[in-house]
Amino acid sequence: MSNHVQQSQGQPGGHSRTARFADLRAAITDERVRDLFPVRFLAANETFGRLVDATAHRMLSSIGALPSAARGTIQQIRQELAIPWRRTVPLQFMCDKLADSGVLARSGGRYVTGPAAPEDFDAVADELVRQAPGAAAAVEILRTLIEESPRFFSGAATGEEVLFAPRKLPLWLRYFSNDNPLYAINNAVGAEALSRLVPRHGGSFEVLEIGGGCGSAAELALRTLGAGVTRYRFTEVAATFAEHGERVARAAAAPSTSVECARVDMTLPWQDQGVEPGSYDVVYSVNCFHVAPDLDFVVREAAKALKPGGAVIVSECVRPTALARPIHAEIIFDFLDSFTEVLTDPVRRPTHGFLTPEAWRATFEAAGLGQVTVLPDVDAVADVYPDFVVGTVTARAEA
């Protein structure tokens, strides 16, 4: 979610903002899900959207890439500054994001200075941390992008080298955390969706988590499910994250829950990595599937792992069907080749990044899964708040 509506109305707060948040929450018809979106989170999320704008402006300014009347297209900016073509995605994102907020103006493929004044990065960052102290890690990541932008846009360093250098591990442990509300919201909605599949009268309930990262999704899921889950298999491909994630998952599990941990690369056949077909009631993944180079392959592998009647649950940003604007969360990940270099399909995956509800539905159905639902209904909420992008998608196997 972003501050687009807020800026377009020219009112940074007051009754208009409160009314928008009230409309947004009212559009979430499920009361338990609505409670996951308190006003304090919505306000911090809008502030983060403003911080993304301030980041884009400072970054473009720092490398001398702000558009001008003489140099108004992405191609002209790249040519004049010798920016490698592989850096086009984040460059385009930042120009589009600033055009959306009015700091730039766009006519066709050209960008020029717009009517809105850019905000100061440090001032907005301080505001965000006051609202949500746990979001400080997100601020540090954006600051890292600004500081490293000359190296990145010159081609001297990749986004992975900039953001995931070993010394940055503590920062990502703080970012991928339930203390960071900007990230934890996907864990919360995912855990709620997962809890609705637990058998009402007990019995076996086995979960396979793919791409468990630092363990925050497992932590919230296991605390939410309690003794309702009998077996939870936590998997992660990156050893630096897996060790931390395993500790977090084991600490959060009920005494009766069997917790297993393994390395699983979702891009390779799962059975070869110890995931037996027909073994799990749920395949669960938070903020992971959208980076799959071949999403169709990953979803097919997930479907194979399910017991009859089982479900795949993915929780992440879900792009509203009608939203053509950039999603502010993408600024970080558009710097990563692993996020942008994916196989696309006109229906199932029109572009890299976050999928629409219809794209998810088509992707799951192509893998033989049905009863696809989105919690909450992202498109319905977006009718009143266009930048609403948080959702969990569930698809079921035949019983």
pLDDT in tens, 251-260: 999 999 999 9
Whether residues 94 and 195 fall in one domain? no
Does residue 173 surpass a pLDDT of 70?
yes
Whether residues 270 and 333 fall in one domain? yes
**Pairwise CA distance, residues 183 & 177, whole Å:** 7
Whether residues 137 and 241 fall in one domain? no
**Pairwise CA distance, residues 48 & 39, whole Å:** 14
User: Region 26-32: what's the mean pLDDT?
Assistant: 97
286 bridge partner residues: 315
Residue 8 confidence (pLDDT): 39
pTM beyond 0.85, yes or no: yes
Whether residues 169 and 260 fall in one domain? no
Whether residues 15 and 160 fall in one domain? yes
Which of 182, 122, 192 lies closest to 2 in space, CA to CA? 182
* Total domains present in the chain: 2
Strands annotated E in 251-389: 258-262, 280-286, 306-317, 370-375
**Pairwise CA distance, residues 28 & 33, whole Å:** 7
E strand or H helix at 206, and its extent? strand 206-209
Which CA distances in Å does 349 have to 70, 92, 101, 192, 294?
A: 36, 19, 27, 26, 10
Instruction: Name residue, tokens 């363990």.
Output: 215
Half-sphere exposure of 1 (CA within 13 A, CB side): 30
Residue 1 confidence (pLDDT): 54
Domain boundary among 156, 175, 194: 175
Does residue 284 surpass a pLDDT of 90?
yes
**Pairwise CA distance, residues 172 & 174, whole Å:** 5
Whether residues 228 and 372 fall in one domain? yes
Answer with the residue of higher pLDDT: 232 or 201: 232
Q: Which residues of 208-223 are buried (b: 16+ CB within 10 A; e: fewer)?
A: bbbbbbbbbbbbbbbe
Domain residues for the domain of 160 are 4-175
Q: How far is CA 45 from the centre of its chain?
A: 13
Whether residues 225 and 272 fall in one domain? yes
Does residue 4 surpass a pLDDT of 90?
no
Whether residues 133 and 151 fall in one domain? yes
Which CA distances in Å does 376 have to 36, 99, 210?
A: 11, 29, 22
Does residue 15 surpass a pLDDT of 70?
no
**Pairwise CA distance, residues 84 & 153, whole Å:** 7
Does residue 206 surpass a pLDDT of 60?
yes
Domain boundary among 175, 208, 229: 175
Phi, psi of 357 (to 5 degrees): -55, -40
**Pairwise CA distance, residues 233 & 213, whole Å:** 13
Residue 12 confidence (pLDDT): 40
261 bridge partner residues: 234
394 bridge partner residues: 313, 373
Three-state DSSP state, 105 = strand
Does residue 14 surpass a pLDDT of 90?
no
